Amino acid sequence: MSKLRRRVIPLSLAAALLLLAFIPFSYAGQLLRQGDSGPEVLFLQNQLRQLGYLAAPATGYFGPLTAAAVSRLQADYRLVPDGIVGPLTRALLDGLLGAPQKPLKTVMGYYTGEEWPLPSSLETLKAHGDALTCVALFSYRLHPLSPGRLEAMDYLPASEIQQVLALAREKKIKVLVLVHNLLYGSGIRGRDVARLALSDPQRRHALVMNIFNILKEKGFDGVEIDIEDLYPQDGQLFNQFLAELSAQLKPAGYVLSVALPARLSDDQAGWGSAFDYRTAARYADQVVIMAYDEHGLYSGPGPIASLPWVEKAVRYTVERILPQKILLGIPAYGFDWNGDGQPPRYLSYRLACETASRYGTPVRWDERAQAPYLKYIDENGSPHELWFENASSWAGKLDLVARYGLKGIAVWRLGLEDPQGWKVIGDKFTVEKG
């Protein structure tokens, strides 16, 4: 193989290598060498794997195996085999592999029923199912009065679930059932419901079996666990639940997906402090990082998911979870903050545009956040600040997915998005299908 490689060097590639020899290094890119890490190393490792020089998984760390693979490549093509990636080695890689192909990515969409004035996700599924790998139905929660049991969400009727399953079969989309501990009302706290279900081994086993039986009886492909806002001391109970659920589901071929709040540091308090990223990833097939609500219901106005904030969350995550397991959660929604102190209005891209039109105010673009927003005064003289997401703000987040080698994205939620966002996905990714 190596002798054949030495003989067959395209003239165009040889010319490019010769030309690069006369280009000052400052114009030819940064060196990569042993000890480096990050998305550029991950991209290099994937190139080496494509060419058959690296058998180990791409990790983003430039260790001895990567250095040896680079040296073999260089020796085969009569470059100095120093194991360092400079302009000549980069040109060689690009010449051998040709123009970069769109990366193959998972695109998951969260599916909900109608939340007037917000539509059901059904029309989006019909229109854009070809761009989806899987959907997660927001359909079950932990039963507040009977720990270990599941309660079906009544706003997603059985007839609509059957439509989803039929469409999914037609469009080769996997369907996951989502289990959560949210939206109880009446003073019931989701963290208390979760503690009751997870703290007792018998109730925990009952919950595992109830999930398993729903998947088997309803024909779902797996489960998305979206248990949030745990007491900090209940993190180990959650880990034990995932271990037991994984042991039950994986031998039967079901997908286990886990949604976790975005974190920027180990000492970050609040909604996500109970969750251990590494342990969750050990048991899950994929982990969704909910990189949204940077500003939301309980904050003042600001971007839903500014690009710098999202990248910090990605960097934190890839240090703890293999990139190939991570789905980056991206928002399709916005919030409209009213200066009168009331909670902000949760809205879709369409409602955001209608609001701008109604009040004759332009949609502005925040360069730092890479997100759209607008300001207006309502009929009562109250000032508003509205932040939302559109295709342009999605583009930067999708670039992060490609740069860090993540598995893909998870959109919260279908039916709220800018329709042009699907074109951006198609331009940047080849969507994986089951």
393 residue type, one letter: S
Query: Which CATH number belongs to the domain containing residue 67 in this structure?
Result: 1.10.101.10
Same domain for 62 and 183? no
Residues 115 and 182 placed together within one structural domain of the fold: yes
Q: Which of 238, 329, 325 is nearest to 289 (CA)?
A: 329
Asked if 42 and 110 sit in the same domain, the reply is no
- The answer to whether residues 65 and 149 belong to one domain is no
- Give the span between the Cα atoms of 44 and 66, in whole angstroms: 9
Q: What CATH number is given to the structural domain containing 372?
A: 3.20.20.80
Shortest CA distance to 165 belongs to which of 205, 221, 123, 207?
Answer: 221
| pLDDT string in tens for the chain (434-residue length) | 333 334 345 544 554 444 444 433 333 346 899 998 877 888 899 889 889 999 988 888 899 999 999 999 999 999 999 999 998 998 899 888 876 678 999 999 999 999 999 999 999 999 999 999 999 999 999 999 998 999 999 889 999 999 999 999 999 999 999 999 999 988 999 999 999 999 999 999 999 999 999 999 999 999 999 999 999 999 999 999 999 999 999 999 999 999 999 999 988 877 788 999 999 999 999 999 999 999 999 999 999 999 999 999 999 999 999 999 999 999 999 999 999 889 999 999 999 999 999 999 999 999 999 999 999 999 999 999 999 999 999 999 999 999 999 999 999 999 999 999 999 999 999 999 97
Long-range contacts of 146-152 (CB under 8 A, 24+ apart): 147/193, 147/196, 147/197, 147/200, 147/203, 147/207, 148/197, 148/202, 148/203, 148/204, 148/205, 148/206, 148/207, 148/210, 149/206, 149/207, 149/210, 150/179, 150/207, 150/210, 150/211, 150/214
Q: 155 with 141: CB under 8 angstroms?
A: no
Query: Contact, 372 vs 421, CB < 8 A?
Result: no
Side chain identity, residue 382: S
Number of other residues whose CB lies within 10 A of the CB of residue 116: 6
Q: Which domain-ending residue is among 60, 77, 97?
A: 97
CB 134 within 8 A of CB 426: no
83 with 117, same domain?
A: no
Return the sign of the alpha-carbon dihedral for residues 277, 281, 284, 285.
positive
Whether residues 212 and 239 fall in one domain: yes
**Residue 117 neighbours by CB under 8 Å, 6+ apart:** 351
Tell me, yes or no, whether 165 and 36 share the same domain.
Answer: no
Co-location of 132 and 52 in the same domain:
no
Alpha-carbon span 387 to 402, nearest angstrom: 25
For position 235, what pLDDT does the model report? 97
* pLDDT value for 312: 97
Which of 97, 132, 155 is the endpoint of a domain?
A: 97
| Cα separations in angstroms, 275 against 64, 236, 271, 421 | 33, 8, 9, 31
* Nearest Cα to Cα of residue 360 among 350, 339, 374: 374
Q: Is residue 426 domain-shared with residue 320, that is, in the same domain? A: yes
108 plus 215 within the same structural domain = yes
Are 92 and 77 spatial neighbours (Cβ–Cβ below 8 Å)?
A: yes
Respond yes or no: is residue 40 known to be catalytic.
no
Q: What per-residue string of b and e applies to 83-93 under the rule 16 or more CB within 10 Å gives b?
A: bbbbbbbbbbb
Query: Which of 48, 76, 97 is the C-terminal boundary of a domain?
Result: 97
- What's this model's pTM, rounded to 2 decimal places? 0.81
Q: Are residue 38 and residue 171 in the same domain, yes or no?
A: no
CA 207 and chain centroid, separation: 26
Of 40, 123, 151, 228, the active-site residue reads: 228
What domain count does the chain have? Answer: 2
Structural domain range at position 326: 104-431
* Co-location of 344 and 230 in the same domain: yes
Q: Is 120 helix (H, G, I), strand (E, B) or coil?
A: coil
- The tens digit of pLDDT for each residue in 408-430 reads 999 999 999 999 999 999 999 99
Quick one: tokens of 67?
């250095």
Closest CA to 67 of 51, 50, 85, 79: 85
Residue with tokens 């991209």: 43
Q: How many CB atoms lie within 10 A of CB 357?
A: 10
CA-to-CA dists, residue 361 to 224, 300, 364, 385, angstroms? 40, 21, 9, 11
The residues that bridge with 222 in the sheet, in sequence order, are 176, 255
Enter the tokens of residue 56: 């180990």
Cα–Cα distance list, 221 to 174, 252, 253, 430 (Å): 6, 10, 8, 22
